Structures are given as structure tokens and as C-alpha cells.
Amino acid sequence: MNYQTNMQKNLKYLLSLSGKNQHDFAMQYHLSDGTLSSYLNGKTTIQLDTLIRLQEDFHFSIDDFLTRDFSQANLAHANAQELTRYQGLYTMYYFDPSRHPGTFDQKDQLEYGILYIQSISVPFQPDINQVTGLFGFDLDGLRACWEHYRSRPDALLQAIPQEGIYRYQGQMHFLEGILNFQLNNQDKDFILYSVNQPRGQKAYIGGMGLCASISRGLQRVPCMQYMGSCRGLITASPGEIADHLRLGKEDIHLNLEVRRLLRRIDDYFNPYAEYQDLDTDEKEILIQHHLERIVLDTIETQVLPFEKATQQRDYQWYQWIKPFVEERE
């Protein structure tokens, strides 16, 4: 590790932060212009008394000054600063996995949560975005919790959850184009919640993301499904909310598929068709293959719902929740 290079870079960075020219900066820290120039060019090692004066003004550790590049740390800090637009209190919406673990489309079986994002700043370090969540509310419980904490969300950090309500804590991380929440429930469960990062600088108002719980939903939190968030209380009916959250199913037109199979069977046994060289066993194998495909496709689409993520789905949720969003103070 090149300590001299780090000191040289970090002194230049502190000079730029100060907003002073070299002469005024040297005067402030009792240096001659020549000595400061020698420090900045890396020709001379910075003396300890100078480091201590700099430390008092810029609040860094001398160990960091020797071993880290402050300009890169500040870049990370600037990126994290962008995340401050996500700070605030959010209501959360998802299906209750304890009541219907397989379908995720029952409109009367929604469950609710509340999430608080708080940014903690550390000098020359990326901001830490602390996240606290309570999950397991019914609709009345969500409304009461929102009214209680909306004007003083910091109190949520000390909240003791009632029976049946689960408290999670963790952090929000900024990945490339994605906001990733990692939440822990006293090591009993672990949640991953990921949403697309919207462009721009405006305050985040909520989004639609994929949530996965290691407990498979046993702690009354999302198992593997969509979860929506809103910087406000959504007053629409649970059924309308569920329409946005339910997993999609790829449409399969069974009648059309059966007609296609029947036409294919006719072709197989038509003496003038291209399949006339096949024997009966070969034709039966082909028919079996097509029939199996129809059955498997039907099972997959009707019993095993899945959906390909789209920007349109996120945008529809984003536009829909706008009337429910509370303006930031």
C-alpha cells in the first residue's frame, strides 16, 4: 500500500473541499507555500502536527488518511446521498402467505406492513440507509399504525410490536438500477425485497418489487411474490390493490389447442399427407407428445403462476399510487 500516494491525493482533496487557494490554505495550517507545494506533489511526507490540525477541521481518522482515497469515498458518499430521496415512511401491501400459500391472487387475503427508511451520515463514508419494518397488519391495523407514526416516524425505531406483528430491521443497498432491501427478524427470518430504481431526483413515492422470505412465509411476511409500497396510505379497496399485486398467468386457449391437436391427428392418418410414411407406433408417439405438451402447459399456467417482470407493470403501480402519496415536508 502506497501511503505517500494516499496522503498526496487526500491533501489535494481536502484543499478542494476547503474552497481556498493554496496560499490561504497554507496560511490556515501554518505552512509555507513551498512546504504545502511539496506535500501536494508528494515530495515530502506530511508532518504529524499538520495532520492533527487537518483532522480537527475535517473529522477523519489519520489511519483512513493514510490508507484510503477520500475522493473515491466521497464518490460513494455522493451516490448514497442520492438515496436520501428514499427516506421516509411507507405502507406495504402483499398477500397473506399463511392463508393461501399457493395462489397469491385472492383479493380478500391481503396483508399489510409499514416501512421506515432513515439515512445515517458518516464523514468520508457512504451513507447508511437503515430500514425498519413492521409486517402482519390487517387493514384496520395498518390505518392505525400509519396515523400513529406518520408525523413522527422516528418513533417506529423503538416500537415494540404487538402479538402477530413482526419487526424487521436492516439496510437498503444501491445496486445498478436496483434498490435492494435486506431485512432481518432476530435471525428467525430474512427478507430480500428488490425494486427498480427510478430515474431523476424527485422524492421516491413507492414502487412494485419482488419479495422473498427465507422462512417461506411462516413469519407472516411475503414468501415469494410482488410487494407494493407507497409513501402514503392507499385508500382503494383491497380488491383493487390485489389486482396490481397478483401474479400473472400466461393465457392458454385450451379449445384452440385441442382443435390443433385434432387437425394434427387427421394429418397423421391421412394417406395423402406428408406423414404417410410413418407407422402407427410413430404416429401414436407424436400424438402422445402433443397431448403431453397441452396438459403440462395447462398445469403450468393454471397451477404454477409466474410472470416476467416488465417496466410497464412498475409504471402502472407508480401512476396508480400517486393520488395517495403524501407530500414530504
pLDDT, residue 125, reads: 59
How far is CA 106 from its chain centroid?
A: 25
Q: Largest Cα–Cα distance in the chain? A: 104
Q: Mean per-residue pLDDT for 212-230?
A: 70
pLDDT, residue 142, reads: 95
- Give the span between the Cα atoms of 113 and 138, in whole angstroms: 9
* Choices 1.10.260.40, 2.70.170.10, 1.10.287.70, 3.30.1490.20: CATH for 3-68: 1.10.260.40
Entry pTM: 0.60
Give the burial string for 152-183 (b: 16+ CB within 10 Å, else e): ebeebeebeeeeebbbbebebbbeeeebebbb
Q: Where are the domains of the chain?
A: 3-68, 84-247+308-324, 254-303
- Confidence grade of residue 102 (pLDDT, cut at 50, 70, 90): very low
* 192: helix, strand or coil: strand
Per-residue DSSP letters for 263-277? Answer: HHHHHHT-TTSTTTT
- Residue 181: what are its φ and ψ, rounded to 5°? -100, 130
Whether the CB-CB separation of 149 and 89 falls below 8 Å is answered with yes
Q: Which amino acid is at 289?
A: H
CATH architecture of the domain formed by 84-247+308-324: Beta Barrel (2.40)
Beta-carbon contacts of 316 under 8 Å, excluding residues fewer than 6 positions away, are 244
How confident is the model over 43-91, as pLDDT tens digits?
888 888 888 888 888 777 788 888 877 766 554 444 545 667 888 999 9
> Residue with C-alpha cell 403450468?
300
